[in-house]
């Protein structure tokens, strides 16, 4: 991910269009606003959704968005707003093969069978992923030092570290004031203790 990229802010005209399109599909205004104020346009052409309540650019593999009793993948939502509902029995597939991408231009509706064939062609089916000899899904090499075996297969340690760092950063963002106050108090106490 590119930590320097800021979410793209639609112009007034773009907002009007998005809100009208969302309203046509029954998507609440607040959801349209929240989604489209957080979309980061990667130079690769893929779009990613930055998380709520965080300055850290961290993108889940398949982020969801929720309102009321509805829970939807963000890419299904951008597809819905751009194109309307997928035809019955169709699923939304990624032309770019990036599961977190929400760029409607990279999305198409296909049958589940086509989706599975497409996944097989790209080597994305689970047995193929497990059998994939060299790299994790983010492209880190599975060297002995970088691999840990877990009941469900194996984990990439580099990814684990990255996830841990992102989690820590999110925690800090959320509890920044409390953490800083605690640090200040501890420092004050230390200074007091060291003054003769
Ligand atoms: Zn894409
Ligand atoms: Zn990895």
Q: What does the alpha-carbon distance between residue 38 and residue 129 come to, in Å, rounded to a whole number? A: 31
Query: H or E segment at 40?
Result: strand 39-41
Backbone angles phi, psi at 64, to 5 degrees: -110, 160
Instruction: Please give the distance, rounded to the nearest whole angstrom, from the Cα atom of residue 48 to the centre of ligand 2.
Output: 19
Ligand found nearest the CA of 47: 1
Ligand found nearest the CA of 160: 2
Instruction: Please give the distance, rounded to the nearest whole angstrom, from the Cα atom of residue 121 to the centre of ligand 2.
Output: 22
Q: What does the alpha-carbon distance between residue 112 and residue 119 come to, in Å, rounded to a whole number? A: 10
pLDDT of residue 4: 60
Query: H or E segment at 20?
Result: helix 12-24
Ligand found nearest the CA of 101: 1
3-state SS record for 142-182: CCHHHEEEECCEEEEHHHHHHHHHHHHHHHHHHHHHHHHHH
Ligand found nearest the CA of 155: 2
Instruction: Please give the distance, rounded to the nearest whole angstrom, from the Cα atom of residue 100 to the centre of ligand 1.
Output: 8
Residue 69 Cα to chain centre, angstroms: 21
Q: What is the mean pLDDT of residues 2-17?
A: 84
Instruction: Please give the distance, rounded to the nearest whole angstrom, from the Cα atom of residue 27 to the centre of ligand 2.
Output: 35
Ligand found nearest the CA of 143: 2
Ligand found nearest the CA of 42: 1
Backbone angles phi, psi at 124, to 5 degrees: -100, -5
Instruction: Please give the distance, rounded to the nearest whole angstrom, from the Cα atom of residue 192 to the centre of ligand 2.
Output: 46
pLDDT in tens, 81-136: 999 998 888 889 888 888 888 999 999 998 888 887 887 777 666 666 556 567 88
Q: What is the mean pLDDT of residues 133-160?
A: 81
pLDDT of residue 126: 63
CA dihedral 152, 157, 162, 167 (to 10 degrees): 50
pLDDT in tens, 36-82: 998 989 888 989 888 765 444 445 556 788 888 888 889 999 999 99
Does the predicted model carry a pTM greater than 0.85? no
């Amino acid at each position: 991910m590119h930590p320097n990229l800021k979410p793209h802010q639609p112009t007034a005209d773009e907002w009007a269009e998005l809100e009208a399109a969302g309203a046509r599909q029954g998507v609440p205004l607040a959801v349209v606003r929240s989604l489209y104020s957080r979309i980061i346009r990667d130079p690769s052409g893929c779009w990613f959704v930055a998380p709520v309540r965080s300055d850290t650019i961290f993108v889940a593999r398949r982020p969801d968005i929720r309102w009321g009793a509805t829970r939807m993948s963000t890419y299904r939502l951008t597809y819905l707003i751009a194109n309307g509902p997928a035809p019955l029995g169709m699923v939304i597939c990624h032309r770019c093969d990036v599961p977190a991408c929400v760029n409607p231009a990279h999305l198409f509706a296909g049958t589940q069978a086509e989706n599975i064939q497409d996944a097989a062609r790209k080597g994305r089916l689970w047995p193929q992923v497990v059998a994939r000899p060299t790299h994790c899904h983010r492209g880190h090499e599975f060297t002995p030092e970088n691999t840990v075996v877990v009941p469900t297969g194996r984990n990439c340690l580099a990814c684990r570290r990255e996830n841990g760092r992102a989690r820590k950063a999110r925690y800090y963002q959320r509890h920044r004031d409390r953490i800083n106050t605690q640090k200040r108090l501890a420092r004050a106490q230390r200074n007091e203790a060291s003054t003769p």
